[in-house]
Amino acid sequence: MADLTELGVAQIRDGVRDGAFTAREVAEAFNANVAAASLLNAFIVATPEKALDAADAVDAARAAGNTLGKMAGVPIGMKDLFATRGVQTTAGSHILEGFVPEYESTVSHKLWGAGAGMLGKLNMDQFAMGSSNETSYFGNVVSPWKRNDGGNAPLAPGGSSGGSAAAVSARLCPAATGTDTGGSIRQPAAFVGIAGIKPTYGRCSRWGIVAFASSLDQAGPMARDVRDCAIMLEAMAGFDPKDATSLDLPVPEWEAGLNPDMRGKRVGIAREYRLDGMDADVAKSWDDGIAWLRDAGAEIVDISLPHTQYALPAYYIVAPAEASSNLARYDGVRYGLRELVDGGGLQDMYAATRAAGFGAEVKRRVLIGTYVLSAGFYDAYYTQAQKVRTLIARDFEQAWRQCDVVLAPTAPSAAFALGDKSDDPLAMYLNDVFAVPASLAGLPAMSVPAGLNREGLPLGLQIIGKAFDEQGVLDASLAIEQRAGFAAKPKRWW
């Protein structure tokens, strides 16, 4: 039998349904890969029994002639931001170490209902704050990729969904959940040569997902190709009355609707995304993407998104402000870590718990957020950032009069070495420069592999679409995927 871990979501689903192999055989193969990949540190907790139990249920349902779900027989990795009943959920932070929820997030509940099984909880930047997966209390995730120059420097898998990205790329799981606040699905997907989509804000429920910035957080799938992302997104999406920001809209059949024919479509190229000193390989991949979409029948049009230059500073005011509010609940009283101070009172316990439980990057963002929300600076910073956010959304609304989707690079560079930017927060934040505008506007956006740079590392291209038009984003991404012909995978060293 061929190596089952080389199969993607669609191939596993169809193979299980057709009887080519059993769901248990698939789960056993991926469980073995997870167990053998400790050097990548992609998983915080492995749950092999959960994957096997779900697989057995699928095999039994098939034997009984029952209809199988969209994800039947597909074992996945679950980012450790999603609450999973009976399984530790930490958000990559010491302050939640040992927290075992008594409830299931809506997204994970939908996936289990669709027949998926859980291989384990994936490592991530602490509270989803980071672009390199170096802020996790449980250690760095290491990218499975290496530079082709023989250098052995361990590379960043991107963040915050770095464990998800590394696990999918290394064939530890065929797909994984991610969350995207300012690029945390798209940037890591680009770094490791996989696909990932951030849907329209509200398309997937946020209930049961540990909050970072509530007006920006959005769950989405990460998989090896566009079709697999479409399948998984169908299983994840849907209205949830427990989430006040959930979209009360039917879930389209994105997989059935996939169409790479771009005739009659217009693709916008924003002049503001042509940054001074842009990496030559990234610029070339962007030009390649333009040529591929033109070959698919699209009309290429120049557009302007004039407030792009303000997106990153606005994001790093809005997101920390919301984080400082959301993280106030971690106080050592109700759940998670509690640090007591001899002879101290309640305030001392709060301070000691947060000092021990939060990492440096989380503390930095809480301090920034508290500062911009303080009485003397609220109007000068937070109010102004919200105005900029409105202007960025307006830029996109005006652009849609000229185009159907926007094509841009996903990240300004390929993966960098772990430690290269950890001492320079501003350099790290610049990784989000192409991803943040779509997040601020709440728009669907996808990263798809575009090729390798001169060092043999993956580069991604990003498609940004109109609100609720995930189909258009998936279709344009599929057109790129078919023409890029990306088939590279990391050589196993772990």
- pTM for the model stands at 0.96
What does the domain layout of the chain look like in residue ranges? 4-259+470-484
Closest CA to 226 of 200, 197, 190: 197
What is the pLDDT, as a whole number, of residue 1?
A: 56
Catalytic positions are 79, 160, 184
C-alpha–C-alpha distance, residues 82 and 98, integer Å: 15
Q: What is the CA radius of gyration of the chain?
A: 21
Which two three-digit tokens encode residue 471? 């189909």
Closest CA to 213 of 80, 364, 126, 315: 315
Peptide bond into 160 cis (omega under 30): yes
Q: Does residue 209 contact residue 107 with C-beta atoms inside 8 Å? A: yes
What is the pLDDT, as a whole number, of residue 276?
A: 87
Which option is the CATH number for 4-259+470-484: 3.40.50.720, 3.90.1300.10, 3.30.1490.20, 3.20.20.150?
3.90.1300.10
What is the pLDDT, as a whole number, of residue 229?
A: 98
Residue 46's DSSP bridge partners are: 120
Q: pLDDT 10s per residue in the chain (494 long)?
A: 579 999 999 999 999 999 999 999 999 999 999 999 999 999 999 999 999 999 999 999 999 999 999 999 999 999 999 999 999 999 999 999 999 999 999 999 999 999 999 999 999 999 999 999 999 999 999 999 999 986 789 999 999 999 999 999 999 999 999 999 999 999 999 999 999 999 999 999 999 999 999 999 999 999 999 999 999 999 999 999 999 999 999 999 999 999 999 999 999 999 999 988 899 999 999 999 999 999 999 999 999 999 999 999 999 999 999 999 999 999 999 888 999 999 999 999 999 999 999 999 999 999 999 999 998 899 999 999 999 999 999 999 999 999 999 999 999 999 999 999 988 888 898 889 999 999 999 999 999 999 999 999 999 999 999 999 999 999 999 999 999 999 999 999 99
